[in-house]
């Protein structure tokens, strides 16, 4: 049965312990972050210093917490204090505990005993216990940033659960960079009572979350994880990136989370069998989750590559062809004939569709719609837009602008770039098919009007065609598995 994590992710009030006036301490940082990120509920601070921190009154003891004032407790106090705090907090209506404090099982046998006692106590009091030794919990629908690190991400549909707190931050940083936002994020820490599988199960039922993104190092009970996530992936895509796939990495993981090594090929087989989407790198994991969060599910593997010029189309055709889950589909005759009417004869006349510079003002939006509408096309990768906007940027910053007719041409190019990006999203929405836009300008010139407009459309502008192909491959494979299973 799914563990109810509502008080952790949707608390009505939060209390932080270990709050002091020292801005470097966890308690201070956690309080600061909660107060700074628009949490609408009550916030309480408990600490040993009398007075105020950040203009917020400090309670001398958890016993001073008003009854029912908070349902989430964020522990930034030492191991020795926490059991008593939890016991008293429960009498004041606390229902979930995020234990940011370290010094538990990661610190040796004594810490392990304290951790076991904390787990037993949470069980006895029927509390959700996250951590210990975790960086915190973030929930954008609740305006909650209860973590000892940054950032607070933009809101979105990705739910993060990670065995490493720093990768939570990494995913949230990518969310900030790309604009593809986060619903919930949690650092599982030592996962003493609440494991990644618990978070995934709750995310699957969560109306705010469409896709889960998780970093795993080790799975002490891999079999149970498999049995549980197999059911989760039927309801929601789960993107996984695994650390410790080599002997060197496994040694590092053993000292990091105490995780036992397993043969990576067994993990990989388990992942495929469980319907998990396994990404090779952290950045690919984020981009894959972002793709699930922002693109429609494809009904097949037939990809058409649209490009304004040759080279991009060629390498992308290679990448699609080499991908085991994607097919570079031959251009259907009727689509070819339609495109033929729009372009001068030098266009490529096959897939990739290379306009060879033959486009006029409306070609790209029309082509996107025609292609997306075709029943024998399942997904589109659009390349080579943003160039005119890039030229316009140089023109705009040069010494001749706005004279010599430059203002008009710059404005035209910038408008066109926005139009192309909007057309890609519109074609995708209208025909319910993935349309991925890729350009190095996504990272090289994020202020490019095409890149900005892709972002404003709520989609990811992929930093390269290869990265778009990788993400699309995961989307197609997952969609296929889901069809096979149903």
Partner 1 sequence: MPTLSEAASRRIMEDAGVAVSPWETATDVKSAQEAAATLGLPVVAKLCGDAIAHKTERGLVRLGLSSQDQVGAAAADLLAAARPEDGEVELLISAMVGGKRELIAGLVRDEQFGPCVMLGLGGILAEAVADVAFRLAPLDRCDALDLIDNLGAQALLGEFRGEPAVDREALADTLLALSRIAGDPKVLSVDLNPLIVVDGQPVAVDALVETT
- The window from 65-73, 187-195, 219-227, 446-454 that contacts partner 1 (CB under 8 A) reads 219-227
Q: Does 6 bind partner 1 (CB under 8 A)?
A: no
User: DSSP readout, 41-99?
Assistant: SEEEEE-SS-SEETTEEEESSGGGSPTTS-SEEEE-S-HHHHHHHHHHHHHTT--EEEE
- The window from 60-68, 157-165, 262-270, 356-364 that contacts partner 1 (CB under 8 A) reads 262-270
Those residues whose C-beta lies under 8 Å from the C-beta of residue 475, and which sit 6 or more positions away, are: 288, 291, 292, 295, 297, 298, 379, 434
- The single residue among 24, 265, 403, 405 that binds partner 1, judged by CB under 8 A, is 265
Residues 268-287 that bind partner 1 (CB under 8 A): 268-270, 272-273
**Cis peptide leading into residue 352 (ω within 30°):** yes
- The single residue among 2, 6, 262, 363 that binds partner 1, judged by CB under 8 A, is 262
- The single residue among 176, 222, 446, 458 that binds partner 1, judged by CB under 8 A, is 222
- The single residue among 38, 221, 411, 456 that binds partner 1, judged by CB under 8 A, is 221
User: DSSP readout, 293-358?
Assistant: HHSPPPSS-EEEEEESSHHHHHHHHHHHHH-TT-EEPPPPHHHHHHHHHHS-TTS--SSSEE-TT-
Nearer to partner 1, 100 or 219 (CB): 219
- Residue 391 backbone dihedrals phi, psi, to 5 degrees: -60, -40
Cβ(177)–Cβ(203) under 8 Å? no
Nearest CA to 430 out of 371, 355, 343 is that of 371
Q: How far is the CB of 188 from partner 1 (least distance, A)?
A: 17
In the Cβ-directed half-sphere of 117, how many Cα atoms lie within 13 Å? 15
| DSSP run (H or E) holding 408 | helix 406-431
- The window from 100-108, 265-273, 376-384, 393-401 that contacts partner 1 (CB under 8 A) reads 265-273
User: For partner 1, what does the binding mask look like between residues 425 and 464, x meaning CB under 8 A?
Assistant: ----------------------------------------
Q: Does 327 bind partner 1 (CB under 8 A)?
A: no
Q: Does 266 bind partner 1 (CB under 8 A)?
A: yes
Cα separations (Å) of 373 from 418, 428, 452? Answer: 21, 9, 25
CA distance 354 to 334: 17
Q: Does 253 bind partner 1 (CB under 8 A)?
A: no
Q: How far is the CB of 215 from partner 1 (least distance, A)?
A: 17
- The window from 115-123, 165-173, 222-230, 290-298 that contacts partner 1 (CB under 8 A) reads 222-230
- The single residue among 52, 110, 263, 340 that binds partner 1, judged by CB under 8 A, is 263
Q: How far is the CB of 102 from partner 1 (least distance, A)?
A: 25
- The single residue among 180, 219, 328, 367 that binds partner 1, judged by CB under 8 A, is 219
Q: Does 402 bind partner 1 (CB under 8 A)?
A: no
- Residue 334 backbone dihedrals phi, psi, to 5 degrees: -70, -35
Six-digit token string for 409: 């041409």
- The window from 165-173, 207-215, 260-268, 396-404 that contacts partner 1 (CB under 8 A) reads 260-268
Cβ(161)–Cβ(171) under 8 Å? no
- The single residue among 260, 327, 370, 387 that binds partner 1, judged by CB under 8 A, is 260
Q: Does 486 bind partner 1 (CB under 8 A)?
A: no
Q: Which residues bind partner 1 (CB under 8 A)?
A: 218-223, 226, 260, 262-263, 265-270, 272-273, 484
């Amino acid at each position: 049965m799914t563990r109810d994590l509502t008080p952790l992710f949707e608390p009505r009030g939060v209390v932080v312990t270990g709050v002091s006036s020292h801005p470097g301490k966890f308690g201070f940082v956690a309080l600061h972050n909660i107060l700074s990120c628009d949490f609408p509920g009550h916030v309480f601070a408990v600490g040993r210093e009398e007075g105020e921190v950040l203009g917020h009154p400090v309670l001398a003891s958890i016993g001073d917490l008003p009854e029912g004032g908070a349902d989430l407790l964020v522990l930034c106090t030492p191991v020795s204090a926490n059991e008593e705090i939890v016991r008293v907090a429960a009498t004041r209506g606390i229902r979930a505990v995020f234990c940011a404090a370290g010094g538990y099982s990661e610190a040796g046998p004594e810490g392990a005993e304290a951790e076991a006692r904390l787990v037993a106590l949470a069980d006895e009091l029927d509390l959700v216990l996250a951590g210990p030794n975790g960086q915190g919990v973030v929930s954008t629908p609740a305006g909650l940033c209860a973590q000892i690190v940054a950032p607070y991400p933009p809101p979105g549909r990705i739910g993060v659960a990670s065995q490493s707190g720093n990768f939570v931050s990494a995913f949230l940083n990518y969310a900030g960079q790309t604009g593809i936002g986060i619903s919930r994020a949690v650092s599982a820490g030592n996962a003493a009572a609440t494991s990644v599988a618990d978070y995934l199960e709750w995310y699957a039922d969560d109306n705010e979350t469409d896709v889960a993104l998780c970093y795993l190092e080790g799975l002490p009970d891999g079999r149970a994880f498999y049995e549980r996530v197999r059911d989760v992936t039927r309801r929601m895509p789960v993107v996984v990136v695994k650390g410790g796939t080599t002997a060197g990495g496994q040694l590092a993981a053993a000292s990091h989370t105490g995780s036992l090594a397993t043969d990576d090929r067994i993990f990989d087989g388990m992942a495929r069998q469980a319907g998990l989407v396994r990404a090779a790198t952290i950045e690919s994991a984020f981009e894959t989750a972002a793709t699930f969060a922002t693109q429609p599910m494809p009904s097949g593997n037939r990809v058409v590559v649209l490009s304004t010029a040759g080279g991009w189309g060629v390498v992308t055709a290679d990448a699609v062809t080499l991908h085991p889950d994607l097919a570079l589909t031959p251009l259907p005759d009727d689509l070819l004939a339609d495109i033929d009417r729009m372009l001068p004869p030098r266009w490529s006349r096959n897939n990739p569709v290379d306009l060879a510079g033959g486009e006029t003002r409306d070609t790209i939006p029309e082509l996107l719609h025609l292609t997306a509408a075709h029943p024998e096309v399942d997904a589109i990768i659009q390349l080579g837009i943003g160039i005119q906007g890039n030229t316009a940027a140089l023109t705009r910053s040069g010494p001749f602008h706005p004279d010599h007719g430059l203002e008009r041409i710059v404005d035209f190019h910038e408008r066109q770039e926005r139009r192309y990006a909007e057309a890609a999203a519109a074609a995708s929405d209208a025909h319910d098919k993935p349309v991925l836009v890729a350009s190095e300008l996504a990272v090289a010139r994020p202020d490019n009007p095409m890149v900005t407009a892709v972002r404003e459309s709520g989609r990811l502008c992929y930093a390269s065609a290869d990265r778009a192909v990788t993400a699309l491959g995961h989307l197609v494979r997952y969609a296929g598995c889901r069809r096979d299973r149903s």
